[in-house]
Every structure is written in structure tokens, then in C-alpha cells.
Structure 1
């Protein structure tokens, strides 16, 4: 995981993919909340990232950033927005230095001073040489993320690359592990770490003696790039929850016309932002499988429980820790409020009853199987040869509505009456879309 924040690049990529290049430079900059100059600078930065990530590919396979995102997005099987998680959100000197360190430790354990000498010998002339403090900070970072490990023994400490997984497994075992990581990283939540593991295994397989026999067995097309991007915030917030720390962040509601604002250090160019500064005790992170969205739930001193879409969160900073008793109380209060939430709704509780019809001329009752699998704590109260009645108590009907609607003519809402009327009106509206012209 990269060491520096890249909130602007995250928002930039999200909008670029969602609009498929339909905006002009001016429209894009206005919608994002930055200047055209900042837009051009961000494009250049992202192009540099792509060139760094794909620098080892032959010329005919290299990827131009604008074409990749604007035109080839729907033809690509790779989650291309993942490249921000690879080494180039670091500064140029950090990227080169970390690469040197990892290469040096690949063959034998080395001390910090030996690594410092190696950096001083091999760093390019146009990049600054590291001092001992900087290098020890790099080693600490690499050890924390599990890339290297410190050998047993006293000072001076020796560090080595932590690649036992690759070294101890046979080629066939690596193939099996790659297939497993490939499937899981594309189908489970969260996914970023799985993608990184998959890429590492793929690189090891293609560099082995049996390279010609390796083929990728599956191809996936991922449709929720925001989920991948928001995992940058997920791990930060998960750590804050574990440590019971307050967090502050700038939040852009989905209803606002902007999703980011540049940090202006010159007072002459300061301007009001559409985002709102928030101070929150994070308690829970929830993922919505249906729409591919992350939500942050927490507690504030002024409004109690609050909910935020993760895609609108930028500039996260950790604050002081609260007591274990206070955190437990806030957690209990939140769980009570969302106990009957289909997802995160905290509205008025209602009992929803719906009739599901068995599929005709089918060997398996896939409708009932799906209801039992996805219906959470709801239960079947009546059943005959034609249909069955499903009943559930939920906070409001907003979140359960898309699920019920996804069954089409196999589902009929019975109660509450206002919800039934609402569904009838929606289906009438949908019907007008299919009237002859």
C-alpha cells in the first residue's frame, strides 16, 4: 500500500470512468472542484504512474492513459484503477529507493548500514541520497506491510525479503494458489490485497522455468471501480475503529455538484468548498453488494448516529482515542438502531409481506432458494403449490425495495398498503417505457 494520500487521484479516476471521457477539460474541472491547471497536472501525474507500472512491457503492449480509461475501459479484463495502489503514489526518490532495497535483500540478509551504502552507490545522480534516518524509516515501513522481516539475533539487525511463500511452494502448488487468489480477489470483499497477491503469484509463475505452460484460466470484468478505490479509506478507518480513535475528514455528499476541492495554500486563492468538515467516532463499515458501495457509520456529539458514503470522504486524519467504555456504549447504540436495517436504514420500523410465485416448469425452485439465501432474518409464513408468503420486519422500505423489485413478476408486495401502492406506480411507469412509439 502506498504511503501518501491520493484523494484527488481517486476522485479524478472515479469521475473519468463514470463519464467515459464525455466531459471537456473545463466541465471536468468544474465538476471535480479543481482548476483546469490542476486537471492538466493530475493527468500528467497519472500518466507517469501508468508508465511506471507498465514500464517493463514491450512497446506494442504499453498503455496510453487517456485511451486506456476513455476508450478501452469496457474491453479490459483487468481492474485498471488498481494501479494507484502500486508503487507510484510515492515520490520518485522513494519509488527508486524502495526498489533498490528490495532488490538488495532478495539474495541475502543485509544490515541497515550495508543497505545505505548500496543506495549511495546505485541511486541516480538526479535523485537525493538518503540519510540513515530516512533508510531506517523505509525499513520500518516495509516491515510493517510484511514485505521484509528482521532476522533473529542482536544488533546490528539484518533484514531479508519475506518471500518464503514463493520459495517453499512447488510450481503446481503456486498454480493452485494463483487460481484461488484470482477467484477470491474478484468475487469477495475486500479485494485489493487479493489483487496484489494474485499479481505477485502471476509474476513468480511467468518467471519460472515452466513459463510457457502457464495460462490465465479465468477472465473477469469488474463493474464496481469505486469499491476498489474506496478500499484506500477502508483500511484507514478499520484501524481507527480498532484503536477507538476519532477521525476528521472533508465530506462531499452525493447531492453536491463537486466531489473534491484543491488545498489552496495561498490566501489570495482561498475559496469556499462544497464539502463539509466532519468529526466522527467511526464504529462500523458496511458494504452494499447490490450497488458496490461502502458506507461509514459512526457517532457524533451533536447528531448521534451518522452515515456517510465512502466515495465522498477525503482528507482523513486520525484524532485522539476515546475510552473503551464510551466506544462500547456508542457501538451498542448503533447496533440497536440498525438491528432491523436491511442495510443501514434507521427509519421507522415496518412489517413487509410479499408473495413469491414458484417458477413454472422448472426442476428447481430457484425463487425460493434465492429468498432463503438473501432474505436475512425474514421468514416464510404461508406456502402452497403456487406461491409462498415471505414476511420481514425492517427499518423503512427504501433499502428492501430494489431486492423485491429484482424478482419481477415472481414477487407481489402485499403489505404495508402504502408500499404496495408505491410499487404499483413504479411498475406502471416502467410499463410506459415499453409502449409502442
Structure 2
């Protein structure tokens, strides 16, 4: 026998019993974003490698270690997208949809790819919902992004399990000045740094602030503080953001070591964290990237956005037992038909019910079978009610209406009254 093929490590199937929760979550986010005036954009999952080198930064861990990059048949270097912001900016520039200062409030959903060590909550193919806003430079839009995520946590029932952390990285000029001061401080103590931090000292020193090595964190206690190097513009912007979050009643923690892992961030950065998922604590993160559009060949354009990891948020919903009971039920009604004449009548009746009750989840038995076997399938489907059509019901123009979850005895309902009776029963269930 040939070897059984399996999915690539870290790239997982989402099975039918898992899909309802995914659809519930994705639907909740889509509905929320629609309500805030955001429009969906869909980008390809493969882009030119240069796009990510130019945007994310060639000396970041993502570009150096994690990207899935290959040459196509034309010899062009292509990459499976490791994140969505760069692709969204590329699309906005290519199609000119933010020209002349047009405000764009966009969102997207889809898979991202990074070659990391797979573990619970971290995969090589993972899914994100991202939001990007262009041509709004004030702290009001930064606040809106945080407010809408706060509203989402409330809708999902997970507010008590997440914490908001904030920081400001300042303008690129202010950050460059701070970078020089930090490098000077750490270079004088390089013998005490871990190997990864020594490497970052030359390539991306601000990432050392996020080191998980206790010795390095101890060394950073007396290091220069980013807040001391903030320019006045960034300070005013950050104060404006905090004032709006205070007005909205959203609690937050200022984390001066929060820098994010991508080179394009400036001014506001934020993360939503949870302590319910072990090491994989970040469930949503983002910030402002006012220089990225220009860096990628466009005109100076204000930009801000965030991305949330769907796998981690699904896991958080399950961990906190915040999965609505009704989403696990995929069928409301199961129609059993006994005999060919009943099958034909049942088919016609089912389509009439679907017309009269939009949104009804009605499954018609397929594969025939006797009454007992069909009822077993009806019960296994998770349906609340079974409809039964046989020779007797057909002759009397009635249908057997059988509750499957202990809501009463079977009764016969006239065809003309069925949709009204079914609607009332479903409302009470």
C-alpha cells in the first residue's frame, strides 16, 4: 500500500464540527466592522518577495527565518504572505484607491504563512482578520480601532480575559535617536547579552526590549527609556489616544517595552493579551505606520491598523466556554419520507418551507430506509423536530410533527398550517 498522505506539519484542516464556531466568529467580526463603516478587500496569498523585504524589514525574524519563499517558473521570487498589511498597502497603491487624500477603511480575512515551530495557538498556516485605515492621522481613528475591538470582546463574552497594552514609538526620527542611545548603552554591556540579543543589537535593537531572557530584562532596567525620547507631536498624539480611551471607559496598561516585531510601526502600538492560553498570549495587535505607504513608493499617507489571530481567539472562546450552544446545531428540522410518492411530496413540501421560512435549516432524508432508521438519522443530525410523511399522511394531507428533544408528543399538522406551526415551535425552542 502507498503511504497515506497527511497535511503539512503546522497546516491544519478545519473539520466540519469545528467550522460552525469559525463561521460564528467570522460572522460576528464582519457584522461589527460593517457597523463601523469598514469595507472588505481580498488580496492574493502570494506576493513578490520584495514587497515583504521592503515593508517588514530585511533584518526582521519574519524575513530572515520564517517566510515561505520560492522561485516560480519565470525565475521570479515569490512569497506566501506572512502578514496582511503589506499586501493591503500594495493593493491600495496599485489601484489608486487612496489617492487625493481619500479615506479608506478596509478589512480582510484569510490565511498567513510563517515557518515557525508549531505549538498550541501557533501554526505555520494561520488565519487573521486585519483592519487598515488610510489618510486619517489623528488619535481618534487609533481610538476607534481599539474601541471596536473592545466591543467585539464584549459581544464574544471574553472582556474579562483580555488586557490592553499601549505604547508610543514616536516618529521615525525620534525613534532613530532613541535607537542610537539604546545601542550605545547595550554595546557597553554586550558581554551580558544573550546570543539572540547580540545579533539584534546590530540589526534590530528595539526588539531586544521584548526579550524573554531574564538576564537581558534585568540589564534593561537602567537602559534609556523610549518615552524620554518622544517628540512633541507623538506625545500629543498619545495623550489624545489615552484621553479617548478614558472617555470610553476602556482600561489599559502602558508598556514602555512594547515595540512590535515589524519595522514599519510609528507612534501608537497596542496589543490585546490574555493569560488563558499559556505562552501564546497575544490575540490582537497593531498600531500606526505613517511612513509605510511612502516607503513602498506612494505619497506620504497616514496609516493605522491591527490584525487578530482567529485560531487563538477560537481557542480562547473554547477555553472560557463562550461557545453559543445553538451554533453546534446545524439542522433545525429533519424530514423523513417513506415510499417514493412520499419522497416526491416531501421534496416539494421541503422547498415550500424553505420559501416560507428563510433561514430554516431543513435536511431531507436521503438514501431511503425504514421509519426507525430515518428517525435515528434525524436524531443524530441534532435537529429539534422531525417531519414524517408516509402513505397515511399523504392521503390525509397532513405531516407527522415529532419533537426530538423532549418538547412533547408527535402530532399531525395540516400542510397548510405547517410553516406557521413550525415557526412558532422554533421560536420557543
**Which fold has the larger relative contact order, with Cα–Cα distance below 8 Å and residues 6 or more apart in sequence?**
2
Q: So what's the TM-score if we normalise by structure 1?
A: 0.23
Q: So what's the TM-score if we normalise by structure 2?
A: 0.24
